[in-house]
Amino acid sequence: MIEAAQLRKGTVIELDGDLMEVVEAALSKMGRGGATVKTKLRNLDKGSVVDKTFNSNERLSDVRLENRRVQFLYTDGNLYHFMDLETYEQPVLGSDAVEDVREWLIENMELSIAMHEGRSIRIELPTTVDLEVAEAPPGFKGDTASGGTKPVVLSNGVTVNVPFFVERGNVIRVDTRNGNYVTRVN
């Protein structure tokens, strides 16, 4: 059990039979009344986000997730195959479980899967990935002084805005949290 005043971003609680992850939590103290905790909770099964207010001393059921280091092996239609790096088990996840991170999965990539009672709850990617530029419009002489950007298509099919000097065949580093260009690797 955990008190509502101890809720922090990333904490997982069980509420009304659903697993909820705290997205935001803010403690507010009124003059004479008791303190309250205003939270934004994401339902880990449905993906919906709800606002909920708790009394600061309200006790909630916290959930411990087991984080497993895995390596992404390959995809087979709607099934995604991973290998646990400690036990060498090969868990298979459906396309709905990897929906949010599907575009950034690269073969042999190491990542973390949060499990609860044998069920995958959340996939945590590395912060950045290196991908090759598959298609890039030409940059024209003099364009680099403006500091502008152009859209390019990466080897995984994602379109990213990059500086004009990036060309087809370059490998670039992309932030997996927001899909933004970070730097050119070569």
173 — pLDDT class (breaks 50, 70, 90): very high
Same domain (yes/no): 117, 88? yes
Q: Given this model, what pLDDT does residue 46 score?
A: 77
* Average of per-residue pLDDT values in the chain: 87
Count of the separate structural domains present in the chain: 3
Q: Given this model, what pLDDT does residue 143 score?
A: 54
Same domain (yes/no): 148, 117? no
Residue percentage of the chain with pLDDT more than 70: 95
Same domain (yes/no): 95, 135? no
Whole-number Cα distances in Å, 67 to 21, 88, 140? 15, 15, 48
Burial readout 116-148 (b: 16 or more C-beta within 10 A, e: otherwise): beeebbbbebeebbebebeebeebeeeeeeeee
Nearest to 124 by CA among 137, 139, 109, 134: 109
Mean pLDDT calculated for residue range 33-54: 87
Rounded to the nearest 5°, which phi and psi values hold at 37? -120, 115
Residue 132 sits in a domain whose CATH number is 2.40.50.140
Same domain (yes/no): 134, 180? yes
Mean pLDDT calculated for residue range 7-21: 87
Distance of alpha carbon 61 from the chain centroid: 24
Greater confidence (140 vs 9) lies with 9
Helix then strand then coil, % of the chain, to nearest 5: 5, 50, 40
Same domain (yes/no): 142, 120? no
Same domain (yes/no): 41, 82? no
Same domain (yes/no): 80, 45? no
Same domain (yes/no): 119, 141? no
Q: Which one of 102, 124, 146 terminates a domain? A: 124
Q: Within a 10 A sphere around the Cβ of 95, how many other Cβ atoms?
A: 12
Q: Which domain holds residue 16?
A: 2-62
Residue 35 sits in a domain whose CATH number is 2.30.30.30
Tell whether the model's pLDDT for residue 77 goes beyond 80.
yes
Q: Given this model, what pLDDT does residue 85 score?
A: 92
Long-range contacts of 148-151 (CB under 8 A, 24+ apart): 149/181
Mean pLDDT calculated for residue range 60-69: 88
Rounded to the nearest 5°, which phi and psi values hold at 148? -80, 180
DSSP state of 143: G
Which pTM value belongs to this model?
0.70
Same domain (yes/no): 116, 139? no
Same domain (yes/no): 71, 56? no
34 — pLDDT class (breaks 50, 70, 90): confident
Same domain (yes/no): 148, 109? no
Evaluate whether 4 touches 55 at the Cβ level (below 8 Å). yes
Q: Which one of 124, 139, 158 terminates a domain? A: 124
Q: Which one of 124, 140, 157 terminates a domain? A: 124
Same domain (yes/no): 137, 180? yes
CA distance 154 to 7: 39
133 — pLDDT class (breaks 50, 70, 90): very high
Tell whether the model's pLDDT for residue 141 goes beyond 70.
no
Question: 16-20, 36-40, 42-46, 166-170: which has the minimum mean pLDDT?
Answer: 42-46
